[in-house]
Structure 1
Amino acid sequence: MLAGLVSTGCVRRQFFQPDARPDATLPLPATADSVRGATAGRQYARHGQLYNALVGQHHRPSWAAPVAAPVLNLATARPGGLQPGKVGGGFNSTSLSLTAANGSAYVLRTVDKDPIRATPELVRGTFLVNVLRDNVSSTNPYAALVVPPLATALGVPRSEPRLYYVRPDDPAFQTDSLHHFRGQLAYLEEKAATMPDKPAPAAVLSSEKAFAAVFASPDQRIDQAALLRARLLDGWLGDWDRHAGQWSWALGAPMTGGFAPLLPLPKDRDMVFYRLDDGVLGWLIGHVAIRHWVTFGPRYKNPVALLSNGEYLDRRALNGLSRAQFRATALALQQQLPDTLLNRAVRRLPPAVFAIEGPRTIAALQARRAALPALADALYLDLARRPLVGGTAQAETFVIRQYPDSMQVTVYPSGSETALPLFRRTFFSSETREIVLEGLGGDDTFVRSQALSQQAARPRLRIYGGPGSDTLTQGPSGASVTSLPGIRFSQGSAPAGQAYDKPAEE
């Protein structure tokens, strides 16, 4: 029974179900526009009680639950049809880019996953591949259907995935590169998340391009309030896989101050309602080995680990928000998520899956909603310990005002201290150990506005000037100095692995 887990044998060749229809030996009529009794991955439910006790039952019953789905027809799925393009996908999914007649971009993604591409070449022929493939059962195959109404209520952009069955004999899927789609369930959705009744953005950027624009000039800035709403939604849903590659960014119209905001557009909701720790080995993996694989439940079991995959974004694009703003955002989200909405959203699960998961999912969402302020506070305090504040490739002036219990950092365009600041926040010694300032490009000036008779022990200040002729000054005289108590000043750039302007990894 446990041979696939503990043996040193080879990877199982016939791991995946051959067809989502259990009765696939009976031909599907050419006129059929839907199928019933299809399963997302019944291979995950073939284990016995002992295996489930050791490894975990996860979402195996949902993967094997019978569901109904329309048959995909690219000619009619959208007005004017859809034209297939490039085959792609991340480490797990297989995806197909599609273009509608009006130019809109769509993507078709398999519901089932194959993580073999995430494994090193040395282990691809071993039983470890079976273990990783079986771990896909930790995900809920239909959780993405629940997200759209919840995201809309919070003002967070979202796609609208629709479940389809791909005919094994569909002429559009007969090439070798598309064999993973044939006879399987797949999601068709917009390539970029949107907000209903909102105009299309001027441009949609990848995380790599969006943050490169932020580092280059103050003309583009991340909408921090919008990102916080999206990140608290991630945590509430238990969606731990939120690295930079899981986001796009909509470039908005210029605002007061002349800068254009970049609005976060979440992608791929594969890890919503993740469940791993309901078996001995699953518990060890999630609590000891890979701590950010956090199981969804009524409690936030490890909120910092749950949100840690988004650390790149959080440290660079939530750094201007206060503790009060974090709390106010969490309280607002609570009001925008009434029980009626939760019930309506969770009932978007297929009926057989709702019968398995619906009541406990709703109860867990209600409990997690009540604890949203605590989640927000945990994220805030984690980020506040050692915040990063960066300039751009242009010249800026950093003004530091130190008080007995806090330090205020304000960033202005160079020589324009009467203009609207690019950044301003007060950091408290009870929360912050060290602040890292990075000037990046240009001839930056770092000004400590006054000398204190008593130097506070915290927060300390670490300054990297970056390329250019950067200066550190103190007091009204503006005299240049090379060091000050509590401040470490370097003319060069921060180490590449820790730098504020480290490129976003897709």
Structure 2
Amino acid sequence: MSGRISLIFIALLILFFVVPNIFNNREKAAFSNEERLEKAKQKYTISQLGDSVTVSISDYYDRGSLATYFLGEHYRDIWHTEFTLPVLDIDTLKGGLQFEKIGGGQQTISADVMSKSGRAYTLRSVDKDQSKALPPILQYSLARPLFRDQTAALNPFGAIITASLEKTADILHTTPIMYFVPYDSSWNEEFQLNMSGRVVIMEEEPGREWVNLKNFNNAIRIIDSDELIPEWQSSKIEIDTRNYLKCRLFDMLINDWDRHEGQWDWAVYNRDNKIIAKPIATDRDMAFYNFNDGLLNKVALQINNKFQSFTPEYEDISGLIRNSKELDLKLLAQMSKADFIETAEKLQSTFTDESIDAAFSKYPHSIYTTYGKLHKKTFKQRLAKLDEAAGEFYDLLNAHD
């Protein structure tokens, strides 16, 4: 009996740690820098391309019915649908961009670039590698492809659509544009290895390079949350908490559940002899998230409720504020329930059918036909219930455990 148990244990170890590292050609093609660079050299040399190219973001997430039963359908069709987007030429865009360094968080690869006029931008990979969030040992296990697959729950056009909606709501934000990065042998080798062959989003990198410019309403300083909080706590800066509340309700509207302190920069102004900071919303990767399909995902939601989905109902407000609650408690403690509901009602009156149509028309035509009308309808349904969600948000923040 003990021998049989040992054999079963060994078989499970092989399945969990050995098989994923042998039968992984598809993973290598999708996530290997070297393989992507070689493909870019063969198919996407800049001299062979025009101003635009027709590609898909990734075919890694295209799965059969059995896999989607367990892992969910998510936005798989968006990820592997071909569409046309502009080709990025760092030698000519914005008068020429100077590569600074490769950066990014755990899951996103990014490149910091600087224009000749001294403006800082970031190129962020649209595709993610969610396995980087795993402990090192599990990155060599079956958990790796499972985690990588969950990128399919992200809407790759979320940041583009959100920026249009933020403009309507008068929320400070970056202006993301999607590009395809080709291969050019004259470019920096580190840049080539990490960026060539990728679909990326280019946007401003809020900071001192953007002060006194209209992009962020002529702010006199732009700082991150780590700089803001001590200055606010020592009364050197006031925070426009009503504006922050509007931003947080907007986050709920678009179902962006990942809004911790690192997801905000702050534009600083001198108003009536007061130094006031307003939030700049950044990093909209989780907007319009779609997770609640697939057997394993439903189990995951019972363990961690933050993975909320963009559905007509606000399914679990406590999940939507899980990552942001610490900052919310700091900044919204002095606001009343009436403030929450009034702010929600103002947002409800801000959006028109025309502004909503314009935002969701940012989808490429090949994707709009599937998701444009659906997401416009879902957005309007959530908008109609935003005042109720605001009241529940207030109650959750002010609940006494």
Give the TM-score normalised by structure 2.
0.88
Q: For residues 53 and 20 of structure 1, what CA distance do their matches in structure 2 show?
A: 33
Letter in 2 for 1:192: P
Q: For residues 328 and 193 of structure 2, what CA distance do their matches in structure 1 show?
A: 38
Instruction: Give the structure with higher Rg (CA).
Output: 1
Q: For residues 304 and 51 of structure 2, what CA distance do their matches in structure 1 show?
A: 40
Structure 1 residues 398-443: Cα deviation after superposition (integer angstroms, max 9, x where no partner) = xxxxxxxxxxxxxxxxxxxxxxxxxxxxxxxxxxx8xxxxxxxxxx
Aligned to 2:374: 360
Q: For residues 356 and 24 of structure 1, what CA distance do their matches in structure 2 show?
A: 33
Shift in Å, 1:380: 0.8
Shift in Å, 1:178: 4.9
Alpha-carbon distance change, 20 to 369 in structure 1, aligned in 2, over 3 angstroms: farther
3-state secondary structure, aligned to 1:103:
coil
Does 2:360 match 1:343? no
Letter in 2 for 1:34: D
Shift in Å, 1:313: 1.5
Aligned to 2:226: 208
Alpha-carbon distance change, 250 to 197 in structure 1, aligned in 2, over 3 angstroms: closer
Bigger drift between 205-214 and 35-44 goes to 35-44
Q: For residues 147 and 279 of structure 1, what CA distance do their matches in structure 2 show?
A: 26
Determine which of 248, 252, 272 is the counterpart of 1:235.
Answer: 252
Alpha-carbon distance change, 52 to 320 in structure 1, aligned in 2, over 3 angstroms: same
Letter in 1 for 2:149: D
Determine which of 221, 233, 240 is the counterpart of 1:223.
Answer: 240
Determine which of 113, 128, 141 is the counterpart of 2:143.
Answer: 128
Aligned to 1:309: 323
3-state secondary structure, aligned to 2:291:
coil
Alpha-carbon distance change, 145 to 155 in structure 1, aligned in 2, over 3 angstroms: same
3-state secondary structure, aligned to 2:74:
coil
The structure with the greater share of residues assigned to helix is 2
Structure 1 residues 312-353: Cα deviation after superposition (integer angstroms, max 9, x where no partner) = 220011112111111111111011111211111011011112
Determine which of 71, 92, 96 is the counterpart of 1:76.
Answer: 92
| Unpaired segments ≥5 residues, structure 2 | 1-11
Q: For residues 122 and 398 of structure 2, what CA distance do their matches in structure 1 show?
A: 38
Q: Is the 8 A contact 1:20 1:185 kept in 2?
A: no
Matches within 5 A, 1:159-238: 159-175=174-190, 178-192=192-206, 199-215=217-233, 217-238=234-255
Aligned to 1:86: 101
Aligned to 2:342: 328
Bigger drift between 129-138 and 34-43 goes to 34-43
Aligned to 1:108: 123
Shift in Å, 1:19: 5.1
Alpha-carbon distance change, 150 to 25 in structure 1, aligned in 2, over 3 angstroms: same
| Unpaired segments ≥5 residues, structure 1 | 387-432, 434-506
Identity of aligned residues (%): 26
Cα-Cα RMSD: 2.4
Q: For residues 283 and 326 of structure 2, what CA distance do their matches in structure 1 show?
A: 18
Letter in 1 for 2:47: A
Q: For residues 131 and 377 of structure 1, what CA distance do their matches in structure 2 show?
A: 37
Q: For residues 130 and 300 of structure 1, what CA distance do their matches in structure 2 show?
A: 30
Aligned to 1:245: 262
Structure 1 residues 201-249: Cα deviation after superposition (integer angstroms, max 9, x where no partner) = 111111111101112x212122101101111111100111111111111
Q: For residues 151 and 222 of structure 2, what CA distance do their matches in structure 1 show?
A: 30
Letter in 2 for 1:125: Y
3-state secondary structure, aligned to 1:68:
strand
Structure 1 residues 34-90: Cα deviation after superposition (integer angstroms, max 9, x where no partner) = 343311111101x21121122101000000010111111112211x32111121101
Letter in 1 for 2:232: V
Alpha-carbon distance change, 97 to 29 in structure 1, aligned in 2, over 3 angstroms: closer
Aligned to 2:169: 154
Alpha-carbon distance change, 329 to 29 in structure 1, aligned in 2, over 3 angstroms: closer
Shift in Å, 1:141: 1.0
3-state secondary structure, aligned to 1:146:
helix
Shift in Å, 1:28: 4.4
Q: What is the count of residue pairs matched by the alignment? A: 376
Structure 1 residues 268-310: Cα deviation after superposition (integer angstroms, max 9, x where no partner) = 1101111111111112212x12210111111111012112211
Does 2:60 match 1:43? yes
Aligned to 2:154: 139
Alpha-carbon distance change, 212 to 64 in structure 1, aligned in 2, over 3 angstroms: same
Q: For residues 278 and 111 of structure 2, what CA distance do their matches in structure 1 show?
A: 25
Q: Is the 8 A contact 2:40 2:196 kept in 1?
A: no
Aligned to 1:374: 388
Does 2:313 match 1:296? no
Letter in 2 for 1:324: A
Q: Is the 8 A contact 2:76 2:152 kept in 1?
A: yes
Letter in 1 for 2:69: A
Alpha-carbon distance change, 125 to 200 in structure 1, aligned in 2, over 3 angstroms: same
Q: Is the 8 A contact 2:41 2:183 kept in 1?
A: no
Q: For residues 352 and 112 of structure 2, what CA distance do their matches in structure 1 show?
A: 36
Q: Is the 8 A contact 2:264 2:279 kept in 1?
A: yes
Letter in 1 for 2:84: A
Q: For residues 136 and 241 of structure 2, what CA distance do their matches in structure 1 show?
A: 40
Alpha-carbon distance change, 105 to 29 in structure 1, aligned in 2, over 3 angstroms: closer
Aligned to 1:474: none
Q: For residues 170 and 301 of structure 1, what CA distance do their matches in structure 2 show?
A: 50
Shift in Å, 1:148: 1.5
Matches within 5 A, 1:253-264: 253-255=270-272, 258-264=273-279
Alpha-carbon distance change, 191 to 27 in structure 1, aligned in 2, over 3 angstroms: closer
Q: For residues 372 and 199 of structure 2, what CA distance do their matches in structure 1 show?
A: 21
Aligned to 2:49: 32
3-state secondary structure, aligned to 1:42:
coil
Q: For residues 245 and 229 of structure 1, what CA distance do their matches in structure 2 show?
A: 18
Letter in 2 for 1:213: E
Determine which of 2, 7, 10 is the counterpart of 2:20.
Answer: 10
3-state secondary structure, aligned to 2:195:
coil
Letter in 1 for 2:222: V
